[in-house]
Amino acid sequence: MNQYLALCRRIVDDGVWVTNERTGKRCLTVINADLEYDVAGNQFPLITTRKSYWKAAIAEFLGYIRGYDSAADFRALGCKTWDANANLNEAWLQNSHRKGEDDMGRVYGVQGRRWSKPDGGHVDQLRKVVDNLSRGVDDRGEIISFYNPGEFHMGCLRPCMHTHNFSLLGDTLYLTSYQRSCDVPLGLNFNQVQVFTFLALMAQITGHKAGQAYHKIVNAHIYEDQLALMRDVQLQREPFPAPQLEINPDIKSLQDLETWVTLDDFKVNNYQHHDPISYPFSV
């Protein structure tokens, strides 16, 4: 939690105003942030200086794991975060690749599970990583990349957290995740939960101990209409100790994640938090 607050403070104190063409808003911006999560010690990096909707964050990630491309499928899991980008983003609404209501196009999970090969067929990146790690193999390329510039025009948004790189040292699994663009008041709440949970889940289904997760962010920003709430409300609050994440131990394979797992298979224990803060969202 302290590293999150330090990043917020750094943006408020040292950030530079940058105008963003896509949203038409100015963002207070810093470059380069390195966050680290103690998955081994189950220090769940949930924001405590406001109420954080961690279930929606896990649901969103489960949708990526399943390769979903429809905001309706995300809603069915308990996550509304793709509604606006799928249905209110003017450029995407005009795009001939959009297949209708709720379609997100070839984003995130579609690339992770069905990356198109130029000679036909698809690559299932996640399946390959799970299979290797389950055999105790780290080929130094256990990478899942959602970043496919050749298909950006076929999706509603370029991926923000775009690459997840797993590493095995002995029987301990590590994860390094890369993010090109980060909405610190809203998106990072979710992304911290997702990086942590991804490592915890992958360790569980491949039969390894979880180590640390490393989260590397390039452009970290606060939108102009979020700044006062962050500076004058959230940053004035004292954080509580980190809660713990409990995952149903019956989840044992990628197939389990693809078929029967729901949000009821995740619990957070000892979550103490301050009141909710409703930050504006930019489409």
Ligand X SMILES: O=c1ccn([C@H]2C[C@H](O)[C@@H](COP(=O)(O)O)O2)c(=O)[nH]1
Ligand Y SMILES: Nc1nc(=O)c2c([nH]1)NC[C@@H]1CN(c3ccc(C(=O)N[C@@H](CCC(=O)O)C(=O)O)cc3)CN21
The tokens describing 70, both together, are 């429809």
Tell whether residue 182 is among the known ligand binding residues. Answer: yes
173 touches ligand X by CB under 6 A: no
In the complex with ligand Y, the residue whose CB is nearer, 160 or 213, is 160
Taking CB under 6 A as the rule, which mask of x and - marks residues 103-142 in contact with ligand X?
A: ----------------------------------------
| Helix ranges restricted to H, 66-186 | 71-77, 83-87, 90-93, 108-113, 125-134
Site for ligand Y in 170-209 (CB under 6 A): 183, 186-187, 189-190
Q: Is residue 157 part of the contact set for ligand Y (CB under 6 A)?
A: yes
Residues 13-32 that bind ligand X (CB under 6 A): 22
Contacts with ligand Y: how many residues (CB under 6 A)? 13
CA gap 63, 68 in Å, rounded:
5
- Let me know the angle formed at the C-alpha of 121 by 120 and 125, rounded to the nearest 5 degrees: 130
Residue 253 gets which letter from DSSP? S
The residue among 45, 20, 56 whose CA lies nearest residue 212 is: 45
Q: Show the binding pattern over residues 234-263: x = contacts ligand X (CB under 6 A), - = does not.
A: ------------------------------
Rounded to whole angstroms, what are the CA distances from 216 to 70, 100, 207?
28, 34, 26
Among ligand X, ligand Y, none, the one that 116 touches (CB under a kind-dependent 5 to 8 A) is none
Measured from each CB, the residue nearest to ligand Y is 187
Is residue 173 within 8 A of residue 242, CB to CB? The reply is no
181 binds ligand X (CB under 6 A): yes
Whether 160 is a known active-site residue: answer yes
| Residue 183 in marked binding region | yes
Q: Going by DSSP bridges, is the β-strand pair 122-123/25-38 parallel, antiparallel, or unpaired?
A: unpaired
Which residues sit in the known binding site? 22, 180-183, 191, 221-223, 282
